[in-house]
Structure 1
Amino acid sequence: MYEERASRVRGAVVWTKTPGREGVVLPDGCMDLLWSEGRLLVAGPDTRAYVPEGERVFWAGVRFRPGTAPALLGVPAYELRDLRVELADLWPASEVRRLNDRVEAASDPVVELENVALERAVPPDPLLSRLVAVLDAGRPIATAADELGLSSRQLHRRSLHAFGYGPKTLSRVLRLQRALRLLRSGVSQAETAVRAGYADQAHLSREVRELTGVTPGQLGA
């Protein structure tokens, strides 16, 4: 079973997953700090559906909103694109051991994991927040660059560092998430295509298959 709640870290959510039926993780522009079975890990930004492997165990995570995790981790997002890595690969091993022992010994490891994230969180970059908002509103990338006062090259460089990929991929991922919310609320595929910003239903189907490997109908089930 998967459950989530709003985090004390601004814009983030805290989630838990108990052993059960495994589901794919769809691209959402986010990065996660993870804890499971005495291990601290980081999930980088996905450009395709991620299928969990290995034994089914308890997982806890803090999911940071797009563009905010690299400042906390001290690592550009593009270095973690489509990866799950040990936190000890990014931070000193002694520090990670101390943090892991702290989480594992806590009466509520999930809350303690959130505390770790909260202690290291930094205020979000207003420019990146605006970029996400502009693209999530469905506006063209060129319009986003103009509104933010950036050249296309500057926008691409900032996006790679913050999100792990360029603004075009970020726009596609955000549009996928808009479509997913509509489909799961019972909106038809044809109406979802219009409201989420696709050219037509065929465009929606192609994009969903490319990013998730399944059909819009399967996503909405």
Structure 2
Amino acid sequence: MSETDRPRLPGYAEHPFRGEQACLLDAAWLHLAGDAPRPHRLPPFWQPSLGVRRTVGPDGTVSDVCLTLFGPAGRARLYAPAPGAEMIAIRVQPEIAAALLKQHPREHVDAKTPLGALPGFDAVRRLAEAGAPGPVLAGALASVLRQAGAEIAPARDRVSHAARLIRACRGRVRIERLAGHLDLPERTLRRHFTDRLGLSPKAYAGLVRLNALIQAADRQLRPDWAGLALRFGFADQAHMSGEVARQTGLSPARLHAERIGLAEISKTGAPALS
């Protein structure tokens, strides 16, 4: 296996959506803790997810099935799953979340919210209770969300366009130039963007860039930090290190070592979350 093919976290898989689907859905993700789960650190991010939590025993028995809204993470945190814990979910683009999920991202920051019966999700719950494999559940969740998305026109307004542009350039954008491109006063863009997503375009761009950087580093055993700083638009490596430390509580090297299992998890700057 090459360094660029190195998986990011044991038990974790992520499958991005492409094309028109990506206007609504960011990625399907699965975390299967197994019998001896390893805690790992989550950086802050802003896409909410809708999915299933459940526990699978050593004999394959399924229990504690719960449809869950996984909110954005406003700060770095440690995830310490119990043995057998499984999470299978679809990450939703934040600018469409309120319309698609009927839940505003800012109302669920740093929370995992159990949901009751939702239209269209009874079949997903039955699959989860019957022990369907994670990829099957992810496909069923995506299908329901795509059907719901078909009933609401994909947003073509300037706030949605701004969010997509920020992601397309991996957060490397000056907000005044973005506002100019959209033919909007910067203050107007900031106000409408914050109303829709729950944070400013500058803050969102910072989270997009941070996560793109971390994911790029995760795919390397020995990251070229100076090269990554240049690639992601930081003034220099020191600037990049300071920003990563501010957002996660750790230096890039320490964070990377934790995430690929070469260092013990530190609780510095990140509350534990079960």
TM-score, length of structure 2 as denominator length: 0.68
d(CA) in 1 for partners of 2:183, 2:114: 37
Structure 1 position 42 matched with structure 2 position 55: no
Q: Which residues in structure 2 correspond to 1:138-177 (within 5 Å)?
A: 138-177=172-211
How well do the aligned residues superpose, as a CA RMSD in angstroms?
2.6
Structure 1 position 29 matched with structure 2 position 29: no
Question: Which one scores higher on RCO, CA 8 angstroms, separation ≥ 6?
Answer: 2
From 53, 57, 65, give the equivalent of 2:93: 65
d(CA) in 2 for partners of 1:28, 1:215: 18
Q: Is the 8 A contact 1:29 1:66 kept in 2?
A: yes
From 31, 35, 45, give the equivalent of 1:17: 31
Shift of 1:100: 5.4
Distance 1:16 1:181, change over 3 A: closer
d(CA) in 2 for partners of 1:154, 1:17: 39
Look up the match of 1:76: 104
The sequence identity of aligned pairs, in percent, is 26
Shift of 1:220: 3.3
Bigger CA drift: 112-121 or 166-175? 112-121
- Whose Rg is larger? 2
Between Structure 1 and Structure 2, which shows a larger proportion of helix residues? 1
Structure 2 spans left out of the alignment, 5+ residues: 1-10, 55-64, 258-274
Structure 1 position 131 matched with structure 2 position 141: no
Structure 1 spans left out of the alignment, 5+ residues: 89-94
d(CA) in 2 for partners of 1:14, 1:63: 6
The superposition leaves residues 174-213 of structure 1 with CA deviations (integer Å, 9 ceiling, x where unpaired) of 1212322442344421221222111222221121112122
Q: How many corresponding residue pairs?
A: 214
Counterpart of 2:28, as a letter, is: V
Q: Is the 8 A contact 2:39 2:81 kept in 1?
A: no
Between Structure 1 and Structure 2, which shows a larger proportion of strand residues? 2
